[in-house]
Structure 1
Amino acid sequence: MKSAVTVVVATLSALGLVTNAAAASPSAPPPRGPHAVVSHLADPKDGHDAEDETEDLTDAAQQYSDIRNAPGLTPANPQAYYAGEQQGRQLPTLPGAWQELTNKPYQSDALDYRDPNWSNSTGGAGHVSGRVSSMATDGKRTVYVGAADGGVWRSDDQGAHWQPLWDGMPSLAIGAVAVDPSDHSVYVGTGEADFSADSLGGDAIYRSADRGRTWQRIGQSFFGLRTARIVLDGAGHVYAATNSGLLRHDLNNWSAPWTTVLAPATGTQTSFATDVRIRPGSNGSVVAAVVVNAGVRPGDENAFYLSTTGGGAGTFTRQASTGDLADGDIGRTTFTWNSTGSTLYAVVQNAKNTGLLSGVFRADSGQPGGPWTKIADTPSLVKAGAQGCGGCQGWYDQYVAADPADPNHIYLGLEDIYETSDSGASWQVIGPYWNFGLPCWSSDLSKLTCPPTVHADQHAVAFGSDGTAYFGDDGGVYSRPAALRKTVKWNNLNEGLHTLQYYSVGAGRVPGGDAIWGGLQDNGVSLLLPGAKEQVSPFGGDGGQVIVDPRNGLRAVNEYVHLSTARTENGGKSDFTTPSYTTMSPSCDNPVTGTVANPCDPGSLFIAPYSADIANTNHWVAGGRYVWDNQGKGWDTNCGPTACDWQIVHDTGAQVTAVVAKGSTIYAAWQFRDTTTGVYHSGIDTNFGGTWHRLSTPNLPSRYITSISLDPARDGHLYISFGGYTDKWVPGAGKGHVFESGDGGANWADDTGSLPDLPTTSLVQWNGLLAAATDAGVYVRLAGSWFKLGTGLPNASGQQLVVAPEGTALLLATHGRGLWSYGIRR
């Protein structure tokens, strides 16, 4: 191992990546510590139709699951990730530090980037960050935020500045945060509970007694944990609503195991507690919870449960719902008592997950059994002014919260934010999904009078003791006074919250350095130019893959979901009058009216692959069901209903997961699951040698092929990477994550070696090194050995790894902590 380390360090030194003698030896392992917003000029149905929204989310969920769980039909053993993450910690770490690139604010409303078809600028969300799943306050000025895969953050000045508290922990997926006001200790439950496409499970519940500087695990590990809420009862107990039921722990002896006080499911059903609350004024004696089967499915246990004797095991009784809410209608639910504890409110997703709410309900008895009165549903919320779909995604985004100072003032979070001042008799939209379509909006900036709003898709709310209300959504954190006011300005708190969820990254040279592009979950495509004070968003919605001209970083191809692509040659700049993007998509799902190709591709993934030829930047290939070739047209590529430069060169009969080209040779990885048998298949088709054929790959695992890396100097030499986990964790998954062929794929060698058993998402060849991004870190291979690459990289899942145009740096897209670089960027 010493000789291999010496070789690697010598290689890095030659590249100028090791700049001091102290860095010449590897450091010890560190201690343990989808859906879419459619452009405003697309068909309005695409953005507001419940069926379309649910279909997109389902497609995204399936892809994200396949990458991590295939060939299994059910998720991998949740312990698999943590075992792999620990494997990575044991490898020697190569010198050099990762540097954060996205430490500048991300402006979604940049006024110079207003393409009339693809931009969401002037939607009103302003600076944005990634999805916020939970929040808690401590006094007047301190706010804690839990992010989807971005860890825990703290602000001591009401959100003006933020600092990360969680980057080195095993999992950055956060579901719940709570603060004990008596001693200011902080509780964090890992694992999201909102059933999004990219929600990840956690490992445990933690406590910090020093405001997040150090963390202690409470009780046992819960691999695959999803935490919906943490509450303290003021009587010596903390409760956690989780996918393992309702848990309770005494506020002492933190190493003692958690007690499961409520888990009513039997047989194949599961007890997912989606909320827990303590009734105000009860001194901890009245505890209510809601339990549903797996969170999104009908089940006999779907109901409210109540304890009136302190919440211990065996004290909860099922509450038969009466009035307008029937037991069979209860799916994922959040609820709250008002400030006096006299009235109970609940927002309930349909148990069959039809894309509609069962409704918003009020129990004037204050009892979880009701009788319940329906005070809102999807049709009434749309009538009240919803810009979103009025609750079609209640399994993803929902909350109901009571103003601590006014028992009749209630907030409701769905796609928009609503409030009622009369206990639900009437509702007002106070945080629109966006400003497009409102009377105040105009394409003429001189006539645009809309105030800033929040980002779409609401997940969390918290109240400070100074009367400030904080709101968390897919674009980060916003605040406003909690009390009712006729005119309220939203405060945007995202400038320093670096939790962006990237799918991709690309870069090209411009004067002064590199233009860096990246596609994000629900935050479009970002562009960071050298010396800029903030990133901008030329392209809205969900951003997928990117192609960037390495010699001219203002020339890029951006992707909306399902291979809907558009190209720009000026970095996406537009004043809304002249399009900066040319739509040229071969997808049947292209949302821009009048541009759907004929023929078109009906079978692309949610985030579909396409790439530039490694030897010719103007030659592009793309994959859906078909393999498409733009015939080398580059930035002259056009595609529409009567003529299209994209040509079908091969039919996989499946779904392409990765596609690359070198000259006339193309490789396309694919997947499909037999709908009759449920058996998962993957493989590679290529025209290497002159004709298209399916490679015989008997020694390759049948898992999702995430990337293909071609050798620029040697034809037929390539590497491939696999997602998922090996058959140690998933039956039938086979062995290995990285394979090499020297003969165009006729034969393969397993190069996995000591690489951690983790979903391996991206491979690149870089100055003699093979680099691999995984769900927990980046690793490099040289002389037959694997090493962890560099220090300082947060433990968010890696999505794509690319080589910067100058060749001396790697760029990494993470799904929760933004973009990072390793090496010397010139």
Structure 2
Amino acid sequence: MALRHRWLAVVTAFALVLAGVLAVMQLRASETRTAAAPIGECAPGFQPVHDALREVRAEMRTEEDFEELREDGEAGEESREAELVREAMRELPMLQGTDPDDWDSLCVVSKRPESLKELNALFDTRAISRLAPFGAYDDGAATAAARQSATLSRASVPGTAGKAKAYGKGPLIVDDENYPQVNGLGLEDNMGRIDDYAWDPKGRRLFAAVGSGGIWRSDNLAASWKDATGNLPTTVTGAVGWTKAKGGTLLALTGEPTFGSSAYTGLGAYWSGNLGKSWKRSKGVPAGALGFAIAVDPTSPKKVYAATQYGLFVSTNAGRSYKNAKLPTGPCAGVTNMSKKPQCALASVVTDVVVVEPGGVNTETEAGTVVASVGWRGGQRTNPDGSVQSPNNGIYRSGNGKPGSFEKLETTGFAAQDAIGRTELGHAVGPEQDHDFLYAIVQDANLLNNGGLLGIDAPEGFSSPLGSTVLNGIYVSDDFGQSWTVMATGTTLAADPTTGSALIGTGTATGYQPGVQGWYNLWVQPDPSRATASGVPTRMAFGLEELWSNDLPQLGQPLDGTTPVHFGVIGKYFGGDSCLLLNVGLPACPTDRDPTDDNSTTHPDQQDGIWILDPEADNGVQLVVGNDGGAYRYRFEEDSDEELDNANWGRGDQKGFQTLLPYWAAMANDGTVWAGLQDNGNLKIDGKTRKQYETYGGDGFFTAVDPYDSNISYEEYTNAAISVTTDGGSSWSSIDPGLTAARFANPFAMDPTNAQHLVTAGREVVETLIGPSTTSGFTDAADADESTSTWVKVFDLGTRTAPGDAAASSSATDPDNSMTAITTRGDATYVGFCGQCDTLNKLVDSGPVFQNGLATNVGGDKRPKAGTSNGWHVAKAKGLPNRYITSIAIDPDRSKTIYVTVGGYTRRWMPPGAAGDTNKAIGKGHLFRSTNGGKSFKDITGNLPDSPATAVTVRKNQLLVGTDVGAFASGPNGKLESKPRFARLKGMPPAPVSSIQLKPDNPNLAVLALFGRGVWTYKFSQKVKVPVVNTGGGGSNAPKLDEVVESFDFEDGAQGWTASGFPGRWAQGSPGHGKGTAEDAGGSAWAAAGPLGYTDLADATLTSPAVDMPKGKGLLQWWMRLDTEGGYDIATLEISQDGGDSWQLLGSYSGGNPDAPGWSKYTAPIAAGGGEVIVRFHFTADEICSNLGGPICSSTSGWDGIRVDDFVLGTAK
């Protein structure tokens, strides 16, 4: 009856939907915009439907079919709207059955299962930049790069010494009340994805392979974790194992198996005899093979099995060396050299392996018998050349594991041959269990292939089985794999409204089904502590998007397939107060199935789970699971009935981990860091406490933060769907420019000289000069004026064969050019782009298709001016290899000098099947310099490893470079050298580097995003001068004053300003500022100047009276004459909005002003909260070389100091 009432509740909820008109949503956001929902209408953890539609529209803009509709003009308006509705119901299946006219009254949960299309696009984002212009490189490329990196770790290059440190402290906090976008999801403490576990029963140690985060160890059952990556050459690990042989050996397989990709390829197998402090490479497992699983023979602990992409490998010496087991998979059996047989790359993908334990009850299978599953997710789909990808997915068995002894079982009761996809195994190991029992959970290759998965690297533009399950079923064998019985199918799980799943009908909405990500989330294990008298396991757990177990009524019944089993969810996708679809105004899901639930849950997307027989536990067993949010241990000690449910997983067991997956990280002057995270949305690290918070859901990519106001930050979701916050992440507003051909993860950049100036691009290059006041859409530069609030289109990148031609029409053979890297500084902007960017799944001998390019407004026919089309053109870029442009840095000293990094590897590592360098410009090198605005480039790679380079920044005359094998720095004058020498930044883990930035007000602190290891900083021992932040001079992109609130000319006294400090002091007197840049000899100004004001060790403050400012965008404007020892004697401008209790840095000034010896006008934007503000100048000098100068100073005559006049507080335009 209670269940029926809950179902009535959801019917009632839908009946309450009020009428609302869905605005005609054209894909060009410049033409029309969807009205934003008022803040507070959606419950925490939910977003308005129209916000979710931003992603749908962005994805549609990348699809050729819709591009044709768009070109039809008004005639296609109805078709475009109809296509949007159809695509929305595919991407957001919880909307099925609703009326689009009512969508303005509905909210959808902000965390939803990603479709196959989205997850592959997510992978492609990282893969294409590393693989272009081909679809792959030779397997030895990554290993060679890692070896080169290791040699540079020992190199001694002056100026590179420093201290590396993880910046964030503690787990990623998801339930903070200040961030309503995510705090209603039921998640609490998260970290990076865990792919595998292993247990050492004697030492009571738990080991974890953490996606791109390396190997970790817990000595207290997941309560805390320690890094055990040691000297592994990469943090990209897929499997971990433990054997007691040789005094205890820790085992690891490298290569990320989650997507089955070759972007983060494997470097082989490794072993450690000291718990991960140091590692040695094992012989026999080839480079390039991705690691899936490790199993140890309990009857012979030296015998180890490694399940990899290139087959099953067997070791008889505790992992020191391996031999290929040569599973009989067909013509590709035993093949590991894909250079000779590239068609075999997917034919022997071994996704799991298990070995029969000795002992048990009624066990007939001989201990040591081994079963392996070959389970490429695409099954028998064909390659482009017509060969079958994996003709013999299935179950393989051997009595002793010797190479050549395995046979493929002709199983009865198992999935059909053509349906077998990824397969995971779990076997009975408990002392009171029958060890004949083996369980398998199988993804359905046919269901996945019907969605259009073409190969290991799915290209752009394919369809996917959105909203439906791709789970074939769960099977049990009582003879260790020879015969099988189905226990449940994906269809039966999806059709059962009583499972408690958040992804099916009851209390939610039809649409997503359990197993929709079954090719990505998959594991199964029986509880070793539960069995019938005859030894049949009676409890099991398995993972899909959610965690599942056999339900309470069936506990105690045998899991042997003889009786029906009902499965229920024990770790829901959302917390207890969330559902997929909710009416505007409702505070929570009205159909919460479990009112006693505390509304917390595990992170979704389950990757692995391990049952641990624990004699110290009251119930004798522990369960630890791993998912895209880290580790979770079930609290049996807090569960009175000791039966699995959703309420006893705790906050998450992430203590000690540093394993987040940032794409980009940016730091404000106050130390606050913002970063985009794979799997875990938008990250904010508090500059004072270093606590880490998730502020925005979904996958986060690129970010930016106002250096002077860390509450103003920008984040990019997918396809350039940019949002901005002005309150530190509590609320967000869409400023999506609505670009054509945007990348799935689309870079954007903030001008380091003006935080109001941002640029991004798809095919269109767009800019804004009004920061958070920007609105969605874009306007052509020719049509823009001072009233324009959208982005401004300044250039069109054209198509692959017609770069820079705005009139060129794209087609399947001549696609739109698309931005890959972008940077701006002042009026100068550079854009790297490519046409036919997607090179995956294309035959090498089909001819070169990839083409990069560089566009800029520097060196054109007009002087560059931000926000206009002045000077824009496609640069010749002579000497730049035709590989993916990953980053660009403008030299702060000269805008025509730029540094560019490129992805891929050099021609030495051309992929299998390439008979020659068909791409004539693949070239050598990864770091290039141009001194003429991109007309020509020179290779300055020096001794950097031959690895995809991902980031470059300039630190005075030093170059900092990020690669897939670590971060590197040149010597102090590297940017001036033709062959600079680089050294690895000491203390950094060997994780792929996503970005390197400098703290805006401190060039001695680098901020790095390490993919798999979170945000790190590197403090250089050899200091360089603090940068001169002179925004004066009336630059074209400087913010403009609108209305004056208060002004001070200092002609009739102090006007409420006060001076303090010693030694040195501020004083009022002549000269003052005159007209323009001229001086007024008789005028009055405040100054810390002359022998009394500008002294050694000066520490002087000038403070304004309180001024009542209106809420909103404000501006400070003043005139200043600056003459100090640059980089050493510094004036800062600070603001307080709490009566002087705390101060925020707005700018630092040192050296000389732009119009010296005259005066220069300066501006500083502020975000006024409404109420009184106080500003102050704080001038400090070091112990030598002040006003008087001296023989050891750079000036024997000294410097004048700082003078300030005509200070204005007002509103900004």
Matches within 5 A, 1:319-398: 319-323=409-413, 325-339=415-429, 340-352=434-446, 353=448, 354=451, 355=465, 356-373=469-486, 375-377=488-490, 380-381=493-494, 383=496, 384-388=499-503, 389=512, 390-398=514-522
Q: Is the 8 A contact 1:292 1:301 kept in 2?
A: no
Is 2:270 the counterpart of 1:113?
no
**Superposition deviation, residue 571 in structure 1:** 0.9
**Counterpart residue type for residue 143 of structure 1:** L
Matches within 5 A, 1:243-322: 243-251=309-317, 255-262=320-327, 264-266=329-331, 268-269=343-344, 270-281=347-358, 282-293=365-376, 298=381, 299=389, 301-322=391-412
**Counterpart residue type for residue 669 of structure 1:** G
The number of residue pairs the alignment matches comes to 760
Change (3 A) 1:463 1:726: same
**Superposition deviation, residue 223 in structure 1:** 1.0
SS at match of 1:105: strand
User: TM-score scaled by structure 1?
Assistant: 0.86
Q: Distance in 2 between matches of 1:365 and 1:255?
A: 34
Q: Distance in 2 between matches of 1:156 and 1:293?
A: 35
Aligned residue in 2 for 1:596: none
Could you give the per-residue CA deviations for residues 676-711 of structure 1, whole angstroms, max 9, x where no partner exists?
Answer: 856211111223223432222342111110111112
Match of 1:569 among 705, 726, 740: 726
SS at match of 1:505: strand
**Superposition deviation, residue 789 in structure 1:** 4.3
Aligned residue in 2 for 1:505: 665
Matches within 5 A, 1:161-310: 161-180=224-243, 184-195=248-259, 200-236=264-300, 237-251=303-317, 255-262=320-327, 264-266=329-331, 268-269=343-344, 270-281=347-358, 282-293=365-376, 298=381, 299=389, 301-310=391-400
Aligned residue in 2 for 1:27: none
Aligned residue in 2 for 1:61: 123
**Superposition deviation, residue 521 in structure 1:** 0.6
**Superposition deviation, residue 429 in structure 1:** 1.0
**Counterpart residue type for residue 649 of structure 2:** W
Aligned residue in 2 for 1:764: 953
Q: Distance in 2 between matches of 1:374 and 1:445?
A: 32
Change (3 A) 1:213 1:716: closer
**Superposition deviation, residue 63 in structure 1:** 2.2
Q: Is the 8 A contact 2:712 2:725 kept in 1?
A: yes
Q: Is the 8 A contact 2:193 2:211 kept in 1?
A: yes
Q: Distance in 2 between matches of 1:568 and 1:108?
A: 17
Q: Is the 8 A contact 1:142 1:157 kept in 2?
A: yes
Aligned residue in 1 for 2:528: 404
**Superposition deviation, residue 472 in structure 1:** 0.5
Matches within 5 A, 1:126-137: 126-137=188-199
Q: Distance in 2 between matches of 1:213 and 1:87?
A: 21
Change (3 A) 1:326 1:445: closer
SS at match of 2:901: strand
Could you give the per-residue CA deviations for residues 33-78 of structure 1, whole angstroms, max 9, x where no partner exists?
Answer: xxxxx963254864668996111112122221111111112x2123
Aligned residue in 1 for 2:1169: none
Aligned residue in 1 for 2:139: 78
Q: Distance in 1 between matches of 2:294 and 2:622?
A: 21
**Counterpart residue type for residue 96 of structure 1:** G
Q: Distance in 2 between matches of 1:551 and 1:80?
A: 43
Q: Distance in 1 between matches of 2:662 and 2:623?
A: 28
Identity percentage of aligned residues: 27
**Superposition deviation, residue 86 in structure 1:** 2.1
Q: Is the 8 A contact 2:875 2:934 kept in 1?
A: yes
Is 2:714 the counterpart of 1:557?
yes
Change (3 A) 1:328 1:98: same
More moved, 802-811 vs 140-149: 140-149
**Counterpart residue type for residue 431 of structure 1:** G
Q: Is the 8 A contact 1:128 1:495 kept in 2?
A: no
Match of 1:748 among 928, 937, 942: 937
**Superposition deviation, residue 276 in structure 1:** 1.0
Aligned residue in 2 for 1:470: 624
Change (3 A) 1:166 1:739: same
SS at match of 2:529: coil
Aligned residue in 2 for 1:809: 1005
Q: Distance in 2 between matches of 1:458 and 1:347?
A: 13
Is 2:908 the counterpart of 1:728?
yes
Q: Distance in 1 between matches of 2:876 and 2:646?
A: 67
Change (3 A) 1:532 1:378: farther
Q: Is the 8 A contact 1:400 1:412 kept in 2?
A: yes
More moved, 40-49 vs 468-477: 40-49
Could you give the per-residue CA deviations for residues 148-178 of structure 1, whole angstroms, max 9, x where no partner exists?
Answer: 1111111111122211011431111111112
Which of the two has higher C-alpha Rg?
2
**Counterpart residue type for residue 405 of structure 1:** S
SS at match of 2:277: coil
Match of 2:568 among 411, 428, 432: 428
SS at match of 1:808: strand
Pairwise CA RMSD of aligned residues?
3.0
**Superposition deviation, residue 612 in structure 1:** 1.3
More moved, 361-370 vs 202-211: 361-370
Match of 1:700 among 863, 880, 883: 880
Match of 2:790 among 640, 645, 653: 645
Q: Is the 8 A contact 1:104 1:535 kept in 2?
A: yes
Q: Is the 8 A contact 2:762 2:818 kept in 1?
A: yes
**Superposition deviation, residue 420 in structure 1:** 1.2
SS at match of 2:421: coil
**Superposition deviation, residue 398 in structure 1:** 1.0
Q: Distance in 1 between matches of 2:113 and 2:681?
A: 22
**Counterpart residue type for residue 77 of structure 1:** D
Change (3 A) 1:238 1:42: farther
Q: Distance in 2 between matches of 1:376 and 1:279?
A: 26
**Superposition deviation, residue 368 in structure 1:** 2.9
**Counterpart residue type for residue 793 of structure 2:** I
SS at match of 1:60: helix
SS at match of 2:603: coil
Q: Distance in 2 between matches of 1:351 and 1:679?
A: 30
Change (3 A) 1:662 1:169: same
Unaligned runs of 5+ in 1: 1-37, 574-579, 587-599
SS at match of 1:166: coil
Unaligned runs of 5+ in 2: 1-43, 53-88, 95-111, 333-342, 359-364, 382-388, 452-464, 504-511, 531-536, 615-620, 637-641, 780-787, 798-815, 863-870, 911-916, 1027-1213
SS at match of 1:325: coil
Q: Is the 8 A contact 2:323 2:403 kept in 1?
A: no
Q: Is the 8 A contact 1:229 1:275 kept in 2?
A: yes
Aligned residue in 1 for 2:966: 777
Could you give the per-residue CA deviations for residues 558-610 of structure 1, whole angstroms, max 9, x where no partner exists?
Answer: 1112211111112113xxxxxx2111112xxxxxxxxxxxxx22421121011
More moved, 533-542 vs 497-506: 533-542
Q: Distance in 2 between matches of 1:523 and 1:125?
A: 11
Q: Distance in 2 between matches of 1:487 and 1:687?
A: 57
SS at match of 2:287: coil
**Counterpart residue type for residue 303 of structure 1:** N
Q: Is the 8 A contact 2:328 2:407 kept in 1?
A: no
Q: Is the 8 A contact 2:756 2:772 kept in 1?
A: yes
